[in-house]
Amino acid sequence: NDGGHDAKNLRVKLVLLGDSGVGKSCIVLRFVRGQFDPTSKVTVGASFLSQTIALQDSTTVKFEIWDTAGQERYAALAPLYYRGAAVAVVVYDITSPDSFSKAQYWVKELQKHGSPDIVMALVGNKADLNEKREVAVQDGIDYAEKNRMFFIETSAKTADNINELFEEIAKRLPRPSA
Ligand code: GDP
Ligand code: MG
């Protein structure tokens, strides 16, 4: 075993970035435990969880997920988490234009300082709050396209598109040649 990097069993470091309150921790909790806890605690510093999924071609992908805190006072720590990450998931809240701007800041940061071959996803979360939407779907699509990112809207609350998010990321991972 070479540490999980054979062609059939991938192990990838994934970091979640985005403003405080956009739902990063809830997305992880929904994906890993299948739960949504509306009283979930604010993340301090960063937390770590892992989850393995199987793809149709029988490849397994083990995500080692670093869920960061969005607060300004932790911004200086972010490079510790995204450095060496194969995947970055940048999250905003579709009811918050400020969080969409903050997502764009993180994308630029990753383009400057992340791995050159990092797989990036842009996620508009809280899609269940469509009646309070303040970021158009098309704005997410356009920004992601310009920056060669995968885009999806999710709801950690209803579970909408949460598994799809991680499955799509898995499909986009560069495969090591055997
Ligand atoms: P984080 O700071 O980005 O980790 O955000 P949290 O995961 O702690 O979530 C912040 C708040 O948003 C909490 O009150 C959650 O209950 C709420 N929340 C998270 N995801 C969703 C969602 O998909 N829909 C709705 N309606 N609320 C959500
Ligand atoms: Mg959190």
Q: What is the ipTM of this complex?
A: 0.99
Cβ of residue 169 lying under 6 Å from some atom of ligand 1: no
CA angle 9, 147, 145 (to 5 degrees): 90
157 Cβ inside 6 Å of ligand 1:
yes
User: pLDDT tens digits for 110-121?
Assistant: 999 999 999 999
- Check pLDDT > 70 for residue 146: yes
Give the pLDDT of residue 1.
Answer: 45
With a 6 Å cutoff on the Cβ, whether 102 touches ligand 1 is: no
pLDDT band at 175 (very low <50, low <70, confident <90, very high): confident
Q: Summarize pLDDT for 84-112 with one digit per residue, the tens.
A: 899 999 999 999 999 999 999 999 999 99
Q: How many degrees, rounded to 5, is the angle at CA 133 between CA 107 and CA 129?
A: 105
> Whose C-alpha lies nearest to ligand 1, atom 17?
23
Q: Which ligand is nearest to the CA of 26?
A: 1
Testing ligand 1's pocket by substitution, the residue of 15, 16, 19, 40 carrying the most ligand atoms inside 8 A of its CB is: 40
- Give the Cα separation of 73 and 154 in Å (integer): 27
The pLDDT assigned to 71 comes to: 62
What sign does the dihedral 15-21-25-31 (CA atoms) show?
negative
Judge if the beta carbon of residue 160 lies within 6 A of ligand 1: no
pTM: 0.93
Given the structure tokens 């990063």, which residue do they identify?
A: 24
- Give yes or no for residue 96 CB within 6 A of ligand 1: no
pLDDT at position 142 is: 98
Quick: pLDDT tens for 59-78. Answer: 899 999 999 886 656 677 78
Between 81 and 137, the more confident residue is 137
What atom of ligand 1 comes closest to residue 20's alpha carbon? 2
